[in-house]
Amino acid sequence: MRDLSVIIPARNEEFLNHTVDDVLAHIEADTEVIVVLDGAWPMKPIPDNDRLTIVHMASPVGQRAACNIGARVSQSKYVMKLDAHCAVGQGFDRIMIEDMQPDWTMVPTMYNLHVFNWVCPNGHRRYQSPSGPCEECGEPTEKEIVWHAKTNPETTAMRFDSDMKFQYWRQYKKRQQGDLVDTMSLLGACWLLERDRYHDLNICDEGHGGIGWGQQGTEVSCKTWLSGGRLVCTKKTWFAHMFRTQGGDFGFPYPISGRDVRDAREYSKDLWLGNNWDKAIYPMSYILEKFWPIPGWTEEDLRKLKAEEQGVSQPVNNPSKAILYYTDNRLDPAIMEACQKQIEEAGLPIISVSLQPMEWGQNIVIDGERGHLTLHRQILAGLEKIDADIVFFAEHDVLYHKSHWDFTPERADRFYYNTNVWKVRAEDGHAVWTDDLQQSSGLCAYRDLLLEQYRRRVQEIEEYGFDRHYEPGEKTGPWRSENWQGEWPNLDIRHKHNMTATKWHPSEFRNKRYARGWKETDSVEPWYKEGGFIGLLSTHND
């Protein structure tokens, strides 16, 4: 078994011989070249080589079918599809194989290939297109082969937009760190993967673009990511691709009409946006969320897609409710007991998630040190346990008024926050207020949406660390949030063990918009009773 088969589908390709020679000159592994001549003999002879196999098809079958024929001929561990007008870096095969993983698809860094110049008898040269007489002296011109990889631009990041159309993504390069980097999509000109995986994923679906080549990069990228694999661009080696030039001197050897393009894209949209690929283990939103934000995709695009995937675009009739309570078990017992009594008045099922065992609610104990990641894991564990439609978050140091639990979300694709809340200092009962204060302690949403959010957040924090954003919404994902205000306010008790600091004066806010609507009081109605705030810690609101 060889290491690699480089499969080159070719139909009326003027520079096929140069491509084959270039590949054979730069291999360092046990690599072969398989050329599939699709309905035509080569325009220029290809010299014999013991590493070269030529398959001739009497009638055109199409680029995807030609690739599949080459893959069936191959007996190598890996296959690499390469356009017939490309150059490669020295040792490209060895370099890529050394880093490859079983579920990866890999593409080298892409350069532009300068193939030829137009040269007149007087020595004037013009870049490879358009054809015609010399622009300086008017003499006729001939082609002079250059075959030079232009290292600028250097392409490592590509994407597709909401119409499933290929796009370059230069801005994403700033987010790519290291020599092996993720890319959302790729150009269909060059990519490598295991041969068995090529066949298993039907990586070149012959119905996906018909006789042409449309949507090849989108197909390969989606099949890689949605099957649980990884699409990697290596910066350790490169290939250079000759692009279409002006003047009709080098167009697409595979004919394709505007209707073919539309048909290929519609096929692609139905397959991927409709989540109709039977080998997918992830929905299409998985790719989008991994690379979000993405030019060409709006938050509404992603919300709509996720709602269709989850079937949660509409709220259910008579939804069930439950309370998710979480604690680090470090709270003053008097405050904890008072807050728990208030929560019990809701009359709803309670799932409590703690770091130490406790006899309150249906208890889940999480093994971990107090911190941001542990907190998010607590929330996720509670969400996975709850079987209700709607979930209210409940923090251990918030006094919830019983009117809080009356709320029902209007939409199943939004996070809702009760912003009728005062922050109260435990020592003396002094309270402050700001407008539109979104806190996780006031969060209510449909369970499916919360599960999606917190699975993603736990993974993000594990991989990249905590970014200071607790509250689900636009800052932590593509979903929108809305505010509501309960009939009576909740009290967020501020004490020495809070994970976030409290600002007790507007001057403490660096961003003054967070201090809008500032109010202060020592008696929040209807919570204030004779004896002041401290009395609330031994009783609960009527």
Band the pLDDT of 99: cuts 50, 70, 90: very high
- Of 406 and 538, more confident: 406
Positive or negative: CA dihedral 15, 19, 20, 22: positive
pLDDT at residue 304 above 90? no
**Cβ count near 237 (within 10 Å):** 20
Domains belonging to the chain, first-starting first, are 4-297 (3.90.550.10), 321-538 (3.90.550)
Residues 39-52, mean pLDDT to the nearest whole number: 89
- Strands (E) in 28-122, as ranges, are 31-38, 52-57, 78-82, 86-88, 104-119
What value, to the nearest 5°, has the Cα angle with vertex 268 and ends 12 and 74? 50
- Residue pLDDT, tens place only, 353-387: 999 999 999 999 999 999 989 999 999 999 999 99
Q: How far apart are CA 491 and CA 439, in angstroms?
A: 12
Q: How far apart are CA 218 and CA 221, in angstroms?
A: 5
pLDDT of residue 251: 55
76-110: string of b/e by CB count within 10 Å (b at 16+)? bbbbbbbbbbbbbbebbbbbbbeebeeebbbbbbb
CB 157 within 8 A of CB 292: no
DSSP 123-178: --EEES-S-SS-TTT----EEEEEEEEEEEEEE--EEE-TT--EEE-GGGGGG--S
Residues 399-413, mean pLDDT to the nearest whole number: 92
Residues 6+ apart with CB under 8 A from 515: 434, 503, 506, 509
pLDDT of residue 35: 97
> How many alpha carbons lie under 13 Å from residue 72 in its C-beta half-sphere?
10
pLDDT at residue 427 above 80? yes
- Residue pLDDT, tens place only, 105-137: 999 999 999 999 999 999 999 988 788 899 999
Which parts of 386-504 fold into alpha helices (H)?
447-464
Give me the chain's average pLDDT, please: 88
- Residue pLDDT, tens place only, 20-40: 999 999 999 999 999 999 988
pLDDT of residue 469: 66
- Residue pLDDT, tens place only, 232-254: 999 999 999 998 765 556 555 66
CB 417 within 8 A of CB 495: no
pLDDT of residue 315: 61
